[in-house]
Each structure stands twice: as C-alpha cells, then as structure tokens.
C-alpha cells in the first residue's frame, strides 16, 4: 500500500511478438463491444473471430447466434451489459480460454464472490481503464513537478439521460440495478485510485436522479487515505459531456482533459517583493487524435494480448487489484444501503 500520496510502482507486463495472429472471439456487438472489435481489427497481432449475440445476428460477416462458434478462438472478449458478465464468464472459462472481461466482474455481490475462484486461476483479465493510460504515464513522468499528491478531483459526465436513445440503452434500463452508474462509470476510478494509493481507509457514496426518467443517473464517491491524499469523483449521465481529472500536489497541479493535459508548477514562484505568484502553466505533449479513454482501452487490450501470446497467466498483483476494486465497489453499495436503512 502507498502512503503520503506516493504512487505504487508499476509491475510491467512483458510484450511479445507472436508468429501468428491470435483469434479473438467477441461476446457482444453494440457500442463498447464494437469499439473493442475495432481495436482488435487494428492490431497487427490479433484478428476477429466470431462475434456473438444470442438475440439477433450481428451485422458482420462473422456474426453468429451460436455461442459454441467461439470455441475455436484463442481468447474471448466479454463486452455485454453488466447483468450477463458472470453468466458468460462461467460458460467460456469452462473451455479453458483466456478472457478479456469488461468491468464489473459481476452484476451483484453474490456472483462476484462466486467468480473469485475463476479469476484466481489466472486466465481472466478484467478490464478497468486508466491503469495503462496516458494519464498514468504523465503522472509518473511528472511526479517530481507534482510533488506529494494531496487531492484528486474527477469529473466524467455525458448527457445520456436526456437522449432519446436512453430509452433503448441498457445502462439506464429497468433491467439494470440502481447502482449502474457506479458499476459502469465510477468503477474505473475506484480501480485506478486504489491502484495508485492502495486501499482507502474512508469512503462514501451517494446516488441521485437528475434526468427526465426515474432511473439513477448520477453517482458521487469520495475516498480518503489516512496518510495520503483524498479524492472525489462525480460521474453522471445527466450533465453535459465533460471529462476532467485534476491532481493537486505539494509542488504542482496537473489537469487532464479528454485530449489534452496541462501542468502548473513549481510551487516556489515569487515576485520582486518575495510574494507568491502563480506558477507557469505548460501544455503537455499529447498524441494528436487520441482520446484518453480510447488510448487506455487499446493499451489495456495490448497488455491482455501479451499474456495470451506468451501463454502466461495474469500476474497475481493484477488479480489482487481486480478483486480489491470489486470488493470496494460492493462495500460502497452496502454502506449506502445501511445509511439509507
């Protein structure tokens, strides 16, 4: 566990170049599954196998409604609505396949607890964004300019709740639980912040509805480390599109937007009278045409692919982090229920 706002060192996953492309089956064909399919298609080391949807034939030459068509794959991506994650995890791991499982691991705590034995076997890679991202790279690159981290503020919003398509979107459907925003959006930050700083000592969670429908569309969380920083996270489907992460340190402040990052540093800037003045603001180098989210997703898939092609297991520390994230997620929900009860 890290203390004092210091980052936990990264354990690298070695990348290997395979002699042949890995065949990747995909469960799911809409939205996020399509985004992952495009990442596979752009890879020089992988290619798409069958794309499965049990209810309607995917609009793709390799679309299928027969799950068993995916048995010939080297690895399988599970990118369905949350409520089906555990169901398909159980089915495809019986085939001995590597699995790239979109977060959360399961739709409820009982299924999560029942999944731990499967996850511990080491062939399931749970995808949380930002562990491998430009954000993480910049935080580590500029750690001296930032200094000891004091506080982190995250805002990640879009206006889905006010979109007519929301009536068809599973994230705000009646089939999903009231904690979908937490499980779908805020979970990225529960994972990344605990990945950086370890298990928090204090946490709180609130959920609300601000949109035209009755579903919960907004989640607020806070996390605090006794000998380290504090963090606040706002994730909402009821506010204009906005992505901003600000990290405050003892020597500087770094702010990330969707496609840019700025650094304000150093702390000790003075005028001719010896009074503090605002530090200079520097626009950091950011690859053009790459959003933080898409870039992190591609990097995460590449990490998974290196494990598949190396014939190795998911490192134990990565498994431990995934289990911690889901444990914290369910702890947020239980503590909220207790306070409301």
The 10s digit of each residue's pLDDT in 302-318 is 999 999 999 999 999 99
Q: CATH 3.30.360.10 region(s) of the chain?
A: 134-297+330-340
DSSP classification of residue 270? B
> Whole-angstrom Cα distance, residue 218 to residue 328?
18
**Is the CA virtual torsion 172, 206, 146, 192 positive or negative?**
negative
Q: Which residues contact 321 (CB under 8 A, 6 or more apart)?
A: 131, 191, 194, 195
Is 286 a residue whose pLDDT tops 80? no
Q: What is the pLDDT of residue 219?
A: 95
> Among 173, 322, 189, which Cα is nearest to 243's?
189
Superfamily of domain 22-129: NAD(P)-binding Rossmann-like Domain (3.40.50.720)
Is 6 a residue whose pLDDT tops 70? no
Instruction: Report pLDDT digits (tens) over 115-157.
Output: 999 999 999 999 998 999 999 999 999 999 999 999 999 999 9
The average pLDDT across 193-211 equals 95
Q: What is the pLDDT of residue 173?
A: 62
When pLDDT is cut at 50, 70 and 90, the band that residue 189 belongs to is very high
Ramachandran region of residue 28, left (φ > 0), alpha (ψ -120 to 50) or beta? left
Instruction: Report pLDDT digits (tens) over 261-285.
Output: 999 999 999 999 999 999 999 999 8
Q: What is the pLDDT of residue 169?
A: 64
Q: CATH 3.40.50.720 region(s) of the chain?
A: 22-129
Is 12 a residue whose pLDDT tops 70? no
Q: What is the pLDDT of residue 3?
A: 46
Percentage of the chain lying above the pLDDT 70 cut: 89
The average pLDDT across 222-228 equals 95
Q: Which fold has domain 134-297+330-340?
A: Dihydrodipicolinate Reductase; domain 2 (3.30.360)
> Whole-angstrom Cα distance, residue 323 to residue 317?
10
């Amino acid at each position: 566990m890290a203390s004092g706002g210091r980052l936990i060192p990264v354990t690298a996953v070695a990348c290997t170049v395979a002699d042949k492309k890995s065949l990747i089956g995909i469960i799911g064909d809409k939205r996020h599954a399509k985004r992952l399919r495009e990442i596979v298609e752009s890879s020089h080391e992988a290619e798409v196998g069958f794309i499965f949807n049990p209810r309607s034939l995917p609009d793709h030459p390799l679309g299928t409604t027969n799950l068993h068509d995916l048995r010939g794959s080297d690895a399988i991506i599970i990118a369905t609505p949350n409520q089906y994650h555990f169901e398909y995890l159980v089915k495809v791991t019986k085939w001995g396949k590597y699995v790239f499982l979109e977060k959360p691991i399961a739709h409820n705590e009982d299924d999560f607890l029942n999944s731990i034995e499967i996850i511990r076997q080491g062939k399931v890679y749970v995808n949380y964004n930002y562990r491998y991202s430009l954000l993480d790279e910049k935080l580590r690159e500029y750690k001296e300019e930032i200094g000891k981290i004091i506080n982190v503020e995250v805002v990640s919003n879009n206006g889905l709740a006010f979109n007519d398509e929301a009536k068809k979107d599973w994230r705000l459907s009646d089939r999903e639980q009231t904690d979908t925003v937490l499980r779908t959006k805020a979970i990225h930050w529960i994972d990344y912040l605990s990945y950086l700083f370890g298990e928090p000592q204090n946490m709180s969670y609130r959920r609300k509805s601000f949109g035209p429908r009755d579903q919960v569309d907004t989640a607020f969380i806070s996390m605090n480390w006794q000998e380290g920083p504090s963090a606040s996270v706002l994730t909402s489907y009821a506010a204009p599109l906005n992505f901003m992460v600000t990290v405050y340190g003892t020597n500087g402040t770094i702010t990330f937007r969707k496609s840019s990052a700025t650094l304000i540093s150093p702390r000790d800037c003075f005028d001719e009278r010896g009074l503090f003045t605002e530090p200079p603001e520097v626009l950091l180098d950011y690859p053009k045409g790459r959003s933080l989210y898409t870039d992190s997703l591609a990097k995460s898939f590449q990490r998974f692919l290196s494990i598949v092609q190396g014939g190795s297991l998911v490192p134990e520390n990565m498994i431990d982090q995934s289990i911690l994230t889901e444990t914290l997620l369910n702890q947020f929900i239980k503590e909220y229920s207790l306070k409301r009860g």
